[in-house]
Amino acid sequence: MQADLIKLENLNKLRIVTYPDPILSRVAEPVREITPEIKGLAERMADLMADSEGIGLAAPQVGVSLRVIVVSVTGKRQDVEVYINPELSNFLGSSEMEEGCLSIPGVRAKVRRSASCTMKALDINGNELVIDVVNLMATVFQHETDHLNGILFIERLNTISRMACRRGIKQLEQDYKNS
């Protein structure tokens, strides 16, 4: 049951989890109902993302396997938008941008993704949204939706980029093992 995954009294305990935590490799469950717990989760995620100077965060990154993302391409807390059960379609073109991830600190690399796409989702009030996005927004939506599908940006790297990031990834694996 969805309510079992998060409890209002535990929201302040949520933290950003780091690679290679197993939750980052799981496919997240759809949100069946927008409850006070879901709204509280979105608020906590927005705070964590803004405090960490991120522009996107998915619920699995805070240890909750639900299909919720928060996005603010300005990085400002007041600009955060919440998207529930996002689905992407209409992928067009190709773009390569440098990406990082709050769950993979210290690792950045260029990733090739679609230059534009359409996102269908619910907002925090349950209203259906359909948004056509390009460039940075398209990249952010693809990156965060990948998190909901258990995919990390480092899995999308070409061989040369993967080799360049190898040291940082190995360090994160070692730190996780020692924690």
pLDDT tens digits, 102-147: 999 999 999 999 999 999 999 999 999 999 999 999 999 999 999 9
Cβ proximity of 23 and 58 under 8 Å: no
pLDDT above 80: residue 58: yes
Q: Percentage of the chain with pLDDT > 90?
A: 84
Q: Which one from 9, 53, 96, 144 is the annotated catalytic residue?
A: 144
* Pairing assessment for the beta strands 56-58 and 68-71 based on DSSP bridges: antiparallel
Q: What pLDDT, on a 0 to 100 scale, did the predictor assign at position 64?
A: 95
The three-point CA angle 44-140-6 to 5° equals 25
Asked if pLDDT for residue 6 goes beyond 80, the answer is: no
Per-residue confidence (pLDDT) for residue 2, from 0 to 100? 43
Q: Is the model's pLDDT at 5 over the cut of 70? A: no
Sheet with 68-71, edge to edge strand ranges: 56-58, 68-71, 81-92, 116-122, 128-134
Tokens of 139: 């990249």
H/E stretch holding 136 reads: helix 135-148
What CATH number does residue 140 fall under? Answer: 3.90.45.10
Determine the pLDDT at residue 1. Answer: 33
155 as an active site residue: the answer is: no
Per-chain mean pLDDT for the chain: 93
For 67-97, the pLDDT digits (tens) are: 999 999 888 999 999 999 999 999 999 999 9
Number of domains in the chain: 1
Instruction: Go through 50-83 and write b for each residue having 16 or more CB atoms within 10 A of its CB, e for each that does not.
Output: beeebbbbbbbbbbbbbbbbbbbeeeeeeebbbb
- Side-chain half-sphere exposure of 50, counting CA atoms within 13 A: 15
Kindly state the helix (H) or strand (E) to which residue 178 belongs, with its residue range.
helix 159-178
Task: Give the HSE-up count for residue 153: Cα atoms under 13 Å, Cβ half-sphere.
Answer: 28
Domain coverage including residue 108: 2-178
Band (4; pLDDT cuts 50, 70, 90) = very low
